[in-house]
């Protein structure tokens, strides 16, 4: 068997990890036909198929999986070794964040980062899925919510998340003002056995006998509160712009700390990425400002 080009193996690893030739071609700045041709040539040199073409992507064959397990770690090590010499890479930064975190907290602040670092080409991927840094090599870091335990990754705490009862101005008016009635008499949205129980215990109040609705996620509760349907035990970070603009009104000075916090998560390979290091320093400064703002309001 003739010597196999290293580039073909690198491209195979990316295609196998992404599971999609179109996305792999975009990552590699190739056409899909060029990448497909390269994979066919690789299979001819190897003497066995490594990828199965499917209607919605590609799957790795048994032989391809063994090849991936053998060469993937070595190619990753080569990438880390040459990373300090890849000057352009340091000017390209991709960050992943949950859609709610991106739109309500990160994006309103990004102008200051872009102004301070015009040399960095920043891309923001807004996604609910947990970033797999081994499969998505173009992503350098992620903002996530959790307990800070992600195997094989660096995790740095940013700030805590807090819950506050919040409602629309129209509902507040219908109920006779913020102090018009005890909160247990308001139409509450949520799980009676969930965070509301903890909040009423913190506030020293009696929970209601029933709740008007249980929706499928916190964003749905925020939307229902905006529409005047009921009171959401809302996440302050996600609802901060709505609270600051008066579209939602906090109904109590009591705040309940959630069990999860906000974290910056990144793979070891990003530790030498100069663009990421600049973003990391800026992000921690923004997190400290956020914490100070919360202390002043609390």
In this prediction, residue 263 carries a pLDDT of 95
Same domain, 96 and 223: no
Same domain, 180 and 96: no
The pTM for the full model equals 0.65
For the chain, what is the domain count? 3
Question: β-strand 141-146 against 92-97: which pairing, if any?
Answer: parallel
Same domain, 169 and 252: yes
Q: What is the pLDDT of residues 208-260, one digit of tens each?
A: 877 888 776 777 888 889 999 999 998 888 888 888 889 999 998 888 888 88
What range defines the domain where residue 270 resides? 88-160+260-297
Average pLDDT, the chain: 87
Same domain, 192 and 250: yes
Q: Is the pLDDT of residue 117 over 70?
A: yes
User: 229 and 187 in contact (C-beta within 8 Å)?
Assistant: yes
The enclosing domain of 21 has a CATH number of 1.10.10.10
Q: Is residue 1 part of a domain?
A: no
Q: What is the pLDDT of residues 124-150, one digit of tens each?
A: 988 877 888 887 778 899 999 988 888
Position 297 confidence tier, pLDDT thresholds 50, 70, 90:
low
The enclosing domain of 203 has a CATH number of 3.40.190.10
Same domain, 61 and 200: no
Same domain, 166 and 246: yes
Q: What is the pLDDT of residues 192-213, one digit of tens each?
A: 667 888 888 888 888 887 788 8
Same domain, 190 and 243: yes
Same domain, 165 and 249: yes
**Of the candidates 156, 168, 160, which has an alpha carbon nearest to the alpha carbon of residue 231?**
168
Q: Is residue 24 part of a domain?
A: yes
Position 66 confidence tier, pLDDT thresholds 50, 70, 90:
very high
DSSP string computed for 184-199: GGS-EES-TTTHHHHH
User: 121 and 166 in contact (C-beta within 8 Å)?
Assistant: no
Position 298 confidence tier, pLDDT thresholds 50, 70, 90:
low
Element spanning 169, H or E: helix 169-174
- Select from 38, 57, 85 the last residue of a domain: 85
- Select from 66, 85, 104 the last residue of a domain: 85
């Amino acid at each position: 068997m003739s010597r196999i080009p290293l580039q073909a193996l690198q491209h195979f690893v990316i295609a196998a990890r992404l599971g999609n030739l179109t996305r792999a071609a975009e990552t590699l700045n190739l056409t899909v036909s060029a990448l497909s041709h390269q994979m066919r040539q690789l299979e001819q040199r190897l003497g066995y198929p490594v990828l199965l073409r499917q209607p919605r992507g590609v799957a790795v064959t048994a032989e391809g999986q063994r090849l991936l397990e053998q060469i993937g770690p070595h190619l990753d090590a080569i990438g880390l070794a040459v990373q300090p010499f890849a000057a352009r890479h340091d000017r390209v930064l991709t960050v992943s964040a949950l859609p709610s975190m991106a739109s309500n907290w990160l994006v309103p602040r990004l102008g200051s980062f872009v102004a301070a670092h015009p040399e960095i080409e920043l891309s923001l991927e807004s996604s609910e899925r947990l970033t797999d840094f081994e499969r998505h090599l173009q992503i350098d870091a992620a903002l996530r919510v959790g307990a800070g335990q992600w195997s094989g990754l660096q995790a740095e705490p940013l700030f805590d998340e807090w819950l506050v009862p919040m409602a629309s101005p129209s509902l507040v008016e219908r109920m006779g003002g913020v102090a018009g009635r005890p909160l247990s008499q308001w139409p509450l949205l949520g799980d009676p056995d969930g965070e509301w129980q903890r909040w009423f215990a913190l506030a020293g109040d009696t929970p209601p006998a029933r709740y008007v609705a249980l929706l499928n996620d916190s964003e749905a509760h925020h939307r229902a509160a905006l529409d005047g349907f009921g009171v959401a035990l809302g996440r302050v970070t996600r609802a901060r712009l709505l609270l600051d603009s008066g579209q939602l009104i906090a109904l109590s000075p009591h705040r309940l700390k959630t069990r999860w916090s906000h974290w910056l998560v990144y793979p070891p390979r990003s530790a030498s990425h100069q663009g990421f290091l600049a973003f990391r320093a800026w992000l921690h400064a923004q997190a400290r400002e956020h914490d100070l703002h919360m202390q002043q309001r609390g």
